[in-house]
């Protein structure tokens, strides 16, 4: 009987300990923290001028191929309209310096920032960086503001509680909570990705808003979600330690100054590790070295495996570009390399990525080109990752964005500028060549009617038949 009492007593003690432990680790309320942070989180709205063509005869719609269609085509005139977008941000300086995502303000004619729910201010861009998707704004006022500070994102652990505050769907001052679900995520949106994954609810309009730890410090900038129609519990934030380096440079210089090695790298597979007698896959394999680059001058060769950079071990290939980019330009760093089955050390003086020939070539390759589709009398460009994010489209979406429609185009009055051509004759369109090929096939057929699948300016999918003769 005494033994039973002792067991019960021990059980109760353990149960009580667990209860106390949980009560300390699980917040009873986020109210005090939210109340403290809300004045520093802002709502951002932008406007951009978009050119469309109006129907000169509202109420009258002529089917494609109608004899009346050509008669009224020339009456359609270009018309400007204002396209609006929403986002979030946060204040880091009492003089009104605001941090947000680049994609929130990219291409904007006007930027309005709403502070504390009802105060509105115009804002200008101090600097923006598409590669990291970060922008710094300055409010046009002499008023002083409450601020938040950055925390150490490297100390954030999987399972830690976090809260997000932002402007989802225009509902400013929205607070959501969750935990850190994962670290070091890469989802293919930007060149430098080391995202914090969270299950705190993040939706369209949350972009650019802060992710806070329980100390009220910003440990991330909410940037992307999985799921087209809203949060499914998988959101991604730029870690504060990575963001702060970019932000400091944008504030000081108006641009970024990233370190540059001048190598193209790839993963070290198990097979490569076995051949090189590395023991296990690690590091970054140098596929090529740019002429006259810092690595070239230091004697780095194709086939080398970079194991360590400036004292930091490289476990995976994707880590190296991030570490190099955040290292100061002109710094001499020691790079540990695996060559001929042994370690060697190279001293490398870092160059600047933005002024390198390597970067200029990459930028040229990524340049958005507008091309004509002569048979359709339209001008198009490829759909970009920025388009997909800003319009909240599925990540796998491919197509062509219409940038101009001629007065004699068969698409006039049927499709608006900025519509996205997804398919033609039930074939996916990934390039101008794809579209030209389908159009030629239609013109050589007896039917001469092309079936297009598009997203209109409201992101509604539409099937449109167009007569081409």
- Any idea which residues carry the catalytic annotation? 103, 133, 207
Q: Are 351 and 260 within 8 A, CB to CB?
A: yes
Cα–Cα distance for residue pair 206/203, rounded to 1 Å: 6
Specify the residue for token string 């060549």. Answer: 433
Contacts made by residues 17-26, CB under 8 angstroms, sequence distance 24+: 26/161
CB atoms closer than 10 angstroms to residue 48: 16
Q: What is the DSSP string of 236-273?
A: EEEEHHHHHHHHHHHHHHSS---EE--EEEEE--HHHH
Q: What is the DSSP string of 79-112?
A: EEEEEEEEEEEEEEETTTEEEE-HHHHTT-SEEE
Structure tokens of 20? Answer: 């106390």
Cα–Cα distance for residue pair 424/11, rounded to 1 Å: 69
Residue whose C-alpha is closest to residue 402's, from 387, 385, 386? 387
Cα–Cα distance for residue pair 76/62, rounded to 1 Å: 13
Radius of gyration of the chain, Cα coordinates, nearest whole angstrom: 27
Residue whose C-alpha is closest to residue 307's, from 334, 338, 333, 339? 338
Q: Which residues contact 39 (CB under 8 A, 6 or more apart)?
A: 115, 116, 145, 146
Cα–Cα distance for residue pair 390/350, rounded to 1 Å: 34
Specify the residue for token string 């598409």. Answer: 130
Residue whose C-alpha is closest to residue 216's, from 87, 37, 349, 63? 37
The total number of residues shown for the chain amounts to: 469
What's the distance, Cα to Cα, between the start and end of the chain in Å?
A: 98
Residue 186 per-residue DSSP state: -
Quote the longest CA-to-CA distance of the chain. 102
- 3-state SS string for 308-345: EECCEECCCCCHHHHHHHCCCCCCEEEEEEEECCEEEE
Cα–Cα distance for residue pair 105/190, rounded to 1 Å: 16
Sign of the Cα torsion 206, 210, 216, 220 reads: positive
């Amino acid at each position: 009987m005494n033994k039973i009492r002792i067991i019960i007593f021990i059980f109760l003690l353990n149960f009580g300990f667990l209860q106390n432990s949980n009560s300390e680790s699980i917040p009873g309320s986020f109210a005090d923290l939210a109340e403290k942070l809300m004045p520093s989180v802002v709502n951002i709205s932008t406007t951009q001028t978009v050119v469309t063509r109006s129907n000169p005869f509202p109420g009258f719609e002529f089917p494609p191929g109608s004899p009346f269609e050509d008669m009224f085509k020339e009456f359609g005139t270009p018309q400007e309209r204002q396209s609006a977008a929403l986002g979030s941000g946060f204040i880091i300086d009492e003089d009104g310096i605001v941090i947000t995502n680049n994609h929130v303000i990219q291409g904007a004619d006007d930027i309005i920032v709403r502070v504390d729910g009802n105060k509105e201010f115009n804002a200008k861009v101090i600097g923006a960086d598409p590669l990291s998707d970060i922008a710094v704004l300055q409010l046009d006022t002499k008023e002083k503001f409450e601020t938040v500070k950055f925390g150490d994102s490297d100390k954030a652990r999987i399972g830690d509680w976090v809260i997000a505050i932002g402007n989802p769907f225009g509902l400013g001052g929205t607070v959501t909570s969750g935990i850190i679900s994962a670290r070091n995520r890469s989802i293919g949106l930007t060149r430098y990705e080391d995202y914090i994954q969270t299950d705190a609810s993040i939706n369209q309009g949350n972009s650019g808003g802060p992710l806070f730890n329980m100390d009220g410090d910003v440990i991330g900038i909410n940037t992307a979600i999985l799921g087209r129609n809203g949060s499914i519990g998988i959101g991604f934030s730029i870690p504060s330690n990575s963001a702060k380096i970019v932000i400091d440079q944008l504030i000081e210089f108006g641009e970024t100054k990233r370190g540059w090695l001048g190598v193209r790298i790839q993963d070290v597979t198990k097979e490569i590790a076995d051949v090189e007698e590395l023991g296990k896959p690690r590091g970054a394999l140098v596929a090529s070295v740019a002429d006259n680059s810092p690595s070239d001058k230091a004697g780095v060769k194709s086939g080398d495996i970079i194991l360590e950079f400036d004292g930091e071990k490289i476990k995976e290939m994707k880590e190296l570009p991030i570490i190099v980019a955040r290292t100061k330009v002109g710094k001499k760093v020691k790079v540990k390399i695996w060559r001929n089955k042994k370690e060697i050390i190279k001293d490398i003086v870092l160059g600047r990525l933005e002024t390198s020939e390597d970067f200029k070539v990459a930028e040229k390759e990524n340049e958005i080109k507008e091309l004509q589709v002569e048979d359709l009398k339209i001008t198009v460009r490829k759909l970009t990752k920025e388009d997909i994010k800003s319009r909240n489209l599925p990540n796998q979406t491919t197509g062509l964005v219409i940038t101009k429609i001629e007065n004699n185009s068969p698409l006039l009055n049927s499709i608006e500028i900025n519509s996205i051509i997804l398919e033609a004759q039930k074939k996916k369109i990934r390039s101008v060549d794809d579209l030209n090929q389908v159009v030629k096939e239609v013109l050589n057929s007896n039917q001469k009617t092309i079936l297009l699948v598009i997203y209109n300016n409201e992101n509604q999918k539409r099937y449109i038949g167009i007569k081409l003769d």
